[in-house]
Amino acid sequence: GKAEEVELFELLWEQNADITDVAQTVSLLRSPQARLRLVHRGQDIVRRRGSESIMLGRDQTCQLVIADHKASRQHCTIERRQDKFMLRDHSTNGTFVTVEGELEVMLQREEFQLRKNGWIALGQSRADTREGVEFFCE
């Protein structure tokens, strides 16, 4: 698959009752400038393009290193799909996500669409750690 939208065209030679007309999607509804900002202990990471994923975890190879004994080495990944940012948990202890104004959600090897603003905690609830990551979907 492609990360970007691709224009397709179909040329019909004659109208046929077996052919269903499909409404054209409005690409103006998509936000090519959608961006995600992550803030953790003074570090600020911004992502715009769909091809760049962000790995969070204890391992020094992660783009955002979280020094918490409950976090896995490669705990979770955030990637952009179309105009959405998706978080995927890969961990043993789960990932806790709180969208501002909503209840905290625990993910265990699941995906979650990040939206608005909120917090990500690795391996334990946000209430139980100082190693939370604040996110902003702009």
pLDDT in tens, 73-90: 999 999 998 889 999 999
Residue 9 maps to a domain: no
Residue 126 maps to a domain: yes
Residue 43 maps to a domain: yes
Domain with 114 in it: 27-137
Residue 62 maps to a domain: yes
**pLDDT value at position 26?**
52
Q: Which two tokens stand for residue 10?
A: 């179909």
Identity (one letter) of the amino acid at 29? L
Residue 22 maps to a domain: no
If DSSP codes are grouped into helix, strand and coil, which group holds residue 126?
A: helix
Average pLDDT over residues 22-41: 72
| Cα dihedral 57, 58, 64, 68 in deg (nearest 10) | 90
Residue 19 maps to a domain: no
**pLDDT value at position 110?**
98
* Phi-psi group of 75: left, alpha or beta (phi > 0 → left; psi -120 to 50 → alpha; rest → beta): alpha
Report the domain count for the chain. Answer: 1
Q: What is the pTM of this model?
A: 0.76
Cβ atoms of residues 31 and 80 within 8 Å: no
Residue 15 maps to a domain: no
Domain CATH number, residue 69: 2.60.200.20
